[in-house]
Structure 1
């Protein structure tokens, strides 16, 4: 193994600062891309898709669980997938392992579900074996074909206006590598993180960052807290309220 140069603390700090400049450029580009994603056109979904769930049949609107936004990850788990019945697809299983507590995502009016061709008893058995907690439904019709996830994993994003459901975004292949973090999920939704610093269309819901964050078992139990510290006047993304 040929290592990079071995340097002093001062030279290391200088190299780190040079890299940090580029990293901030990438972060700003990511923010701009998310802003463009929030301006993607919406595609009406007129087909009455049906899924099997732990409590019986449910339509696409039902997957929202009463929230405004829906993220559906198509996981390859089922009788025709390598590893069944003890496992699902290795890559999809890694994605499932990355999913944390969904309370933070739910607090932003967003629901995440997994969907597969596997029957519900097999899904429940596998969830228990692997320690997965996310809602997981069985595809019963052409949903996977119609949304480009019949032959490969992928993530579709939806929003609803009353009874009307719209497709707003789709990502697959290496794009799914970012999944698992609350921010990465929210950044692919039409409403985004819903924070004041974001470049969103007029009228979109927004509130100060940090104030809506809470412990995952305490959402809705108290008034939002004001984060400590003074805002940085040189950082346009720092929307902390002054003390």
Structure 2
């Protein structure tokens, strides 16, 4: 049953009601500002790809449904790892609705995988509590339990956050962190990739020399059409 009221209360103080011609003129002015905002975001992403990194040498332990893992294992053989620190805690009777809403909005992982990127959730709750909650929510995102210093070491102390890591020849580097409203606009493939050190890996991007890049659009596929080897390493198969 729909929760939308059959007779919504009338709104007060509507914007001006104008002709189509006046609306179009106003819309074109707004669109120019939106395009400038997009270009500024592209420049910021290019700067982000050139930010320094910190090597991660400390060992961390994670548990999934089957085994104990290290941080490198969370990459699943890919170059980049995006970790969302979900606030699910031990014996959690009131799971964070914000964390759950964010997770609901994460797009199909096959597209991120095709750009050599793994997405995973990490929580303080034990894995035997994560598994039934994950099933209840209908999520198939990798979700790991962690009880050591991983959260605190990467700036997540009393809430949620998102960290990005790069691995090169099994050396792990911490590249990015955001929280609060920095997480609110995320969820689709492009917003996540724009935060990573390799970016979207498309030729139009201003990336460091030698960074993997392919033609835009051509790597896009239906999520069930990606070849297995492409999901493992997009940069060798494009």
TM-score, scaled relative to structure 2: 0.89
Aligned to 2:46: 35
- CA–CA distance in structure 2, aligned partners of residues 181 and 68 of structure 1: 19
1:150 offset after TM fit, Å? 2.2
- CA–CA distance in structure 1, aligned partners of residues 229 and 99 of structure 2: 37
Segments of 5+ residues of structure 2 without an aligned counterpart are: 1-11, 231-238
Higher relative contact order (CA 8 A, sep 6+): 2
Segments of 5+ residues of structure 1 without an aligned counterpart are: 224-243
Which of 145, 154, 170 pairs up with 1:147? 154
Structure 1 range deviating more: 62-71 or 213-222: 213-222
Alignment of 1:181-220 (within 5 A): 181-220=188-227
- CA–CA distance in structure 2, aligned partners of residues 6 and 115 of structure 1: 49
Aligned to 2:16: 5
1:133 offset after TM fit, Å? 1.4
* Contact 2:127–2:145 (CA under 8 A) maintained in structure 1: yes
1:43 offset after TM fit, Å? 0.2
Secondary structure, counterpart of 1:141 in structure 2: coil
Matched, 1:51 2:51: no
* Contact 1:67–1:110 (CA under 8 A) maintained in structure 2: yes
Secondary structure, counterpart of 1:31 in structure 2: helix
Cα–Cα, structure 1 residues 221 and 170, in superposed 2: closer, same or farther, change >3 Å? closer
1:169 offset after TM fit, Å? 0.6
Matched residue pairs, number?
A: 219
Matched, 1:101 2:112: no
The C-alpha deviation readout for 1:121-173, integer Å capped at 9, x for no partner, is 21110111111111000012100011111212110000011121000111111
- CA–CA distance in structure 2, aligned partners of residues 82 and 32 of structure 1: 43
* Contact 1:73–1:114 (CA under 8 A) maintained in structure 2: yes
Alignment of 1:52-131 (within 5 A): 52-79=63-90, 81=92, 83=94, 88-131=95-138
* Contact 1:77–1:117 (CA under 8 A) maintained in structure 2: yes
Secondary structure, counterpart of 1:34 in structure 2: helix
The C-alpha deviation readout for 1:82-112, integer Å capped at 9, x for no partner, is 51xxxx2111011111112100000000000
Aligned to 2:176: 169
* Contact 1:78–1:117 (CA under 8 A) maintained in structure 2: yes
1:42 offset after TM fit, Å? 1.0
* Contact 1:34–1:187 (CA under 8 A) maintained in structure 2: yes
- CA–CA distance in structure 2, aligned partners of residues 32 and 55 of structure 1: 42
Aligned to 2:7: none
Cα–Cα, structure 1 residues 82 and 19, in superposed 2: closer, same or farther, change >3 Å? farther
